Chains A and B, each alone.
Chain A
Amino acid sequence: AQSVAQPEDQVNVAEGNPLTVKCTYSVSGNPYLFWYVQYPNRGLQFLLKYITGDNLVKGSYGFEAEFNKSQTSFHLKKPSALVSDSALYFCAVLVRGGKSTFGDGTTLTVKP
Chain B
Amino acid sequence: DGGITQSPKYLFRKEGQNVTLSCEQNLNHDAMYWYRQDPGQGLRLIYYSQIVNDFQKGDIAEGYSVSREKKESFPLTVTSAQKNPTAFYLCASTPGQGVTGANVLTFGAGSRLTVL
Contacts and interface: CB of A to CB of B under 8 A. Distances in A.
Contacts of A86: none
Given A43-B92, A92-B105, A105-B40, 9 more contacts: A32-B103, A34-B104, A36-B105, A43-B90, A90-B43, A94-B103, A100-B45, A100-B103, A102-B35
Contact of A43 (B41, B48, B101, B110): B110
A90 B107 contact: no
A36 to B, nearest CB: 7
Interface in A43-90: 43-46, 49, 51, 90
Lowest 9 A-B CB distances belong to which pairs?
A43-B107, A97-B98, A104-B42, A102-B43, A102-B42, A44-B107, A46-B104, A43-B109, A43-B108
Interface string B30-43: 00000100001111
Contacts of B103: 32, 94, 100
B29 interface: no
Contacts of B43: 44, 90, 102
Interface in B33-67: 35, 40-43, 45, 48, 58
Contacts of A51: 100-101
B112 interface: yes
Interface residues of B, number: 26
Contacts of B112: 41
A97 to B, nearest CB: 4
Contacts of B45: 99-100
Contacts of A102: 35, 42-43
B92 to A, nearest CB: 8
Nearest to B31: A99
21 contacts: A9-B40, A34-B105, A36-B105, A36-B107, A41-B88, A43-B4, A43-B6, A43-B92, A43-B108, A44-B105, A44-B107, A46-B105, A46-B106, A90-B42, A90-B43, A99-B45, A100-B105, A102-B35, A102-B43, A104-B42, A105-B40
